[in-house]
Amino acid sequence: MKALVSVKRVVDYNVRVQVKSDGSGVITEGVKHSMNPFDEIAMEEAVRLKEKGKLTEIVAITIGGAKNEETLRSALAFGADRAIHIKEEGDVQPLTAARAFAAALKKEGAQVFFAGKQAIDDDANQTGQMVAALLDIAQATFASKVELDGGKAVVTREVDAGLETLEVDLPAVITTDLRLNEPRYLKLPDIMKAKKKPIETVTFADLGVEKGAALTISKTSAPPKRSKGIMVKTVDELVSALKSKGLV
Amino acid sequence: MAGAKPALSPYLNEDHDAFRVQVRRFVERECTPHIDAWEAAGELPRELHRKAADAGLLGIGFPEKLGGVDVPDRFYQQIVVEELARTSAGGLIASLLSHGIASPPLMYAGTPEQQQRFLRPVLAGERIAALAVTEPGGGSDVANLRTRARRDGDHYVVDGQKTFITSGMRADYITLAVRTGEPGLGGVSLLVVEAGTPGFTRSPLQKMGWHCSDTATLYFDGCRVPVSHRIGAENAGFMAIMMNFNNERLMLAAQAWASAQLCYEESLAYARERQTFGKPLLSRQAIRHKLVDMKSRIDAVKAQLDLLTWRVSRGQTPIADLCLLKNLATSTLESVAGEAVQIFGGAGYLRGAKVERVFRETKVLSIGGGASEVMKDLAAKQLGY
């Protein structure tokens, strides 16, 4: 059974993100990037399933410019067998990404599409769901446990009310949540071996994908600065302070 | 990768960068949050050795067939040391990597059986190894060591003491330097002594720093060690010990450099934040000059460190240069750590500041692995003065 795993190159989670002075976005030049942490969890899960014999092949896929090769090499060091680089510069919105992944999933005949539940850059949390909708296949999002068996996936999901367990037919989209696993440390021999694994380069045109800007970002701004707090002495004082602000 | 960013070093490529990212991640997750607890406990948990082995860190530079990781150069070991040093706890490096000085003799001169038994479990993080050369009566004077191993059938009977032994309390295997032959350098052998061998006891030593590293005095009293535990030929241990010292000095220099770099970064960040008389400390000329002086000295050490790491990677053994590098790096650390604490002021005198710990631990690097004075003598001799 084959799995396709999407991996996105994002600004590293340790970087203190700065908004561009003209409000057109955030500064990404000269800033450390790494694989979206939720996608690392997706990669880790795919590799564990392959180690258990539940998957036979893992294909990593990404969309972006030349620098995304670094992200694919990380995925290959994790244990992906090969990678697909959809080489497109510029902003890629969830629907465009989903169309491309759907096309690749179909072309590859993969049974599972793994992705992080969201990417930490725009936190859209849409792409996985859109892939499922475009292909009219099952989706199980926010996975905290994944089992593959006999053409089905049993996925435990983290939902507001607690845990929900879904059984879905394959092919299916599974998006991964924080507590699914703890991604491994990539070992040096794996980092070195990853350089020899194949990366196929394609474009949206090759996949028959139309790049459409469905959304326009009108402005990016930094969160408002936290103003100075006050100390209260009693619970009553706290309640009345909240009441006076109309918060309770 | 290519063209992604300008190269900052002629010695490093994207493999080094990718490896460093993983080591840094390991250190941030598995070490930094626990350092204070380990310092208080006076030792590292065994679990850490297993985790470090699982992450592929303990085997760097050891052969793959023993569970190690073959590397094309010595910069990989340097990266491990540099990243561990970012915790500010020198004892972490000394103790977690004590096999880095205890195990090379087994790698170079051990039999396949010895390697399977004493090296493989260490690289897997299941066992801990320590090197024991220094004695109460002498450290660098290896040719005159006095711990005696007398042959008795298929055993050696060992009598004597070793001291300042890193990981000495926890070690399962001691790589022990003993006198098997005549006085002088031609009578020294190396044995592996297992913990629990009758006649082998140990006691802990309290130190100025390196608190998370267990240090011990080892006592051997009629301790019977099988002849099959001897590493290499009888009376041929001196060269192995000397080779080991070169390696150790390079690693100590890397540790000193990384600790100095940490002090610089910490002081710079502090000087930016700290306000004195209404202005950032960093705006004061006295402080700005301190910081650039620190940087220039640190960068000079790095240039020589990297050059010698490159030369050693190519199989060279520049003994004099390594001695002088160790002195340059450790004396720079002493000066830089002192200035860092000065910039921090009162905050630098308090437990909790990284610079406080580094400052407290500078002396061990100027003394251990060959004191500065011994390094100078050896360098002068090697240079033919």
Which of A9, A31, A184, A185 to substitute to test the interface with B, most B CBs within 10 Å? A185
What is the rounded CA–CA span in Å between residue B204 and residue B215?
A: 6
- pLDDT value, residue B139: 75
Does residue A77 sit at the B interface (CB-CB below 8 Å)?
yes
In angstroms, the CA A53 to CA A63 distance is 28
Which candidate in B5, B12, B22 is best for mutational testing of the A interface (most A CBs within 10 A)?
B22
Average pLDDT over residues B329-334: 98
| A16 contacts chain B (CB < 8 A) | no
Residue B6's pLDDT band, with cuts at 50, 70 and 90, is low
From the candidates B83, B248, B266, B339, which is the catalytic residue?
B248
User: What is the extent of the structural domain holding B292?
Assistant: 239-382
Instruction: Evaluate whether residue B4 is within a structural domain.
Output: no
Yes or no, beta carbons of A187 and B55 under 8 Å apart: yes
Interatomic CA distance for residues B35 and B380, integer angstroms:
40
pLDDT at B1 > cutoff 50: no
Q: Which of residues 195-224 of A touch B (CB under 8 A)?
A: 195
Find chain A residues with C-beta within 8 A of B3's C-beta.
Answer: 66
- Same domain as B43, residue B141: no
CB contact under 8 A, B18 and A187: no
A contacts of B4 (beta carbons < 8 Å) = 66-67, 70
Residue B308 domain flag = yes
Say yes or no to pLDDT of B140 above 90.
no
Boundary residue ending a domain (B197, B216, B235): B235
CA-based nearest residue to B164, from B116, B101, B229, B228? B101
Q: Are B264 and B223 found together in one domain?
A: no
CB B219 within 8 A of CB B202: yes
Quote the crossing angle between the two packed helices B319-344 and B237-273, to the nearest 10°.
30
Which of A73, A184, A188 has the CB atom closest to B19's CB atom? A188
* B196 and B254 both lie in a single domain: no
Q: Cβ–Cβ of B4/A188 closer than 8 Å?
A: no
pLDDT at B142 over 90: no
Mean pLDDT of B204-228: 97
pLDDT single digits (tens) A171-203: 999 999 999 999 999 999 999 999 999 999 999
Q: Which residues contact B171 (CB under 8 A, 6 or more apart)?
A: B98, B102, B128, B129, B130, B165, B195
The answer on pLDDT for B165 being more than 80 is yes
CATH code for the structural domain at A2-244: 3.40.50.620
In a shared domain, residues B336 and B376: yes
pTM, two decimal places = 0.88
* Cβ pair A185:B26 closer than 8 A: yes
B351: confidence class by pLDDT, cuts 50, 70, 90: very high
B221 and B291 fall within a common domain: no
In a domain, B322, yes or no: yes
Mean pLDDT, residues A148-172 = 94
Nearest CB among A67, A185, A189 relative to B69 is that of: A189
| Lowest mean pLDDT, pick from B158-162, B242-246, B302-306 | B242-246
Contact A69 B1 (CB under 8 A): yes
Average pLDDT over residues B179-204: 96
Compute the mean pLDDT over every residue in chain A, rounded to the nearest whole number: 94
User: Is a pLDDT exceeding 50 seen at residue A3?
Assistant: yes
Higher pLDDT, A40 or A30: A40
Contact B18 A189 (CB under 8 A): no
| Interchain CB contacts (distance < 8 Å): A and B | 42
Tell me the CA distances in angstroms from B363 to A118, A158, B101, one per residue in order. Answer: 49, 53, 20
Q: Tell me: pLDDT of B155 over 80.
A: yes
The answer to whether the CB atoms of A185 and B71 lie below 8 A apart is no
Helix axes B319-344, B372-382, angle to 10 degrees: 150
- Nearest CB among A67, A186, A189 relative to B4 is that of A67
Give Cβ neighbours of residue B196 (< 8 Å, ≥ 6 apart).
none
Partner residue opposite B55 with nearest CB, options A73, A185, A191: A185
pLDDT at residue number B137 = 86
State which residue of chain A sits closest to B4, comparing Cα positions.
Answer: A67
Residues B209 and B256 in one domain: no
Residue B3 lies in a domain: no
Binning pLDDT at 50, 70 and 90, where does residue B345 land?
very high
- Chain B interface with A: residues with Cβ < 8 Å: 1, 3-4, 14-15, 18-19, 21-22, 25-26, 54-56, 60, 64, 69, 71, 76
- The alpha-carbon gap from B114 to the nearest alpha carbon of chain A, in Å, equals 25
Contacts of B78 in chain A (CB under 8 A): none
A15 touching B, CB under 8 A? Answer: no
Confidence of residue A24 (pLDDT cuts 50, 70, 90): confident
Q: Is B248 a catalytic residue?
A: yes
Q: Is residue B113 part of a domain?
A: no
Query: Residue B22's domain is classified under what CATH number?
Result: 1.10.540.10
Q: Which of residues 93-112 of A touch B (CB under 8 A)?
A: none
Please check whether residues B261 and B371 belong to one and the same domain.
yes
Summarize the confidence of residues A47-73 as an average pLDDT: 96
Tell me what pLDDT residue B46 has.
97
B231 shares its domain with B246: no
Mean pLDDT of A72-85: 97
- Asked if residue B370 has pLDDT above 70, the reply is yes
Closest residue in A to B79 (Cα) is A188
- Same domain for B157 and B222? yes
Q: Chain B neighbours among A 110-129 (CB < 8 Å)? A: none
Kindly state whether residues B243 and B353 are assigned to the same domain.
Answer: yes
B258 shares its domain with B214: no
Of A18 and A91, the one with more pLDDT: A18
Residues B317 and B211 in one domain: no
B200: CATH: 2.40.110.10
pLDDT at B5 over 60: no
ipTM given for this complex? 0.83
Listing DSSP states for A161-207 in one string gives TEEEEEEEESSEEEEE-GGG--PPPPPHHHHHHHTTS-EEEE-HHHH
CA distances from B263 to B80, B96, B167, B252, B364 (A): 18, 22, 26, 16, 17
pLDDT reported for residue B3? 39
Which residue, B69, B88, B123, sits at the end of a domain?
Answer: B123
CB distance B54–A66 less than 8 Å?
no
Q: Residue B2's pLDDT is what?
A: 39
The distance of A175 to chain B (nearest Cα, Å) reads: 24
Task: Choose the closest CB to A185 out of B56, B64, B71.
Answer: B56
Contacts of residue A16, defined as CB under 8 A and 6 or more positions apart, other chains included, come to: none
Q: Is residue B359 part of a domain?
A: yes
Share of chain B above pLDDT 70, in %: 98
Chain B residue with the nearest C-alpha to that of A191: B15
Q: How many domains does chain B have?
A: 3
Mean pLDDT, rounded, for B219-239 = 96
**Residue B7 domain-assigned?**
no
Query: Who contacts A71 (Cβ-Cβ below 8 Å, separation ≥6)?
Result: A7, A8, A9, A33, A34, A35, A62, A64
The answer to the question of residue B110 being in a domain is no
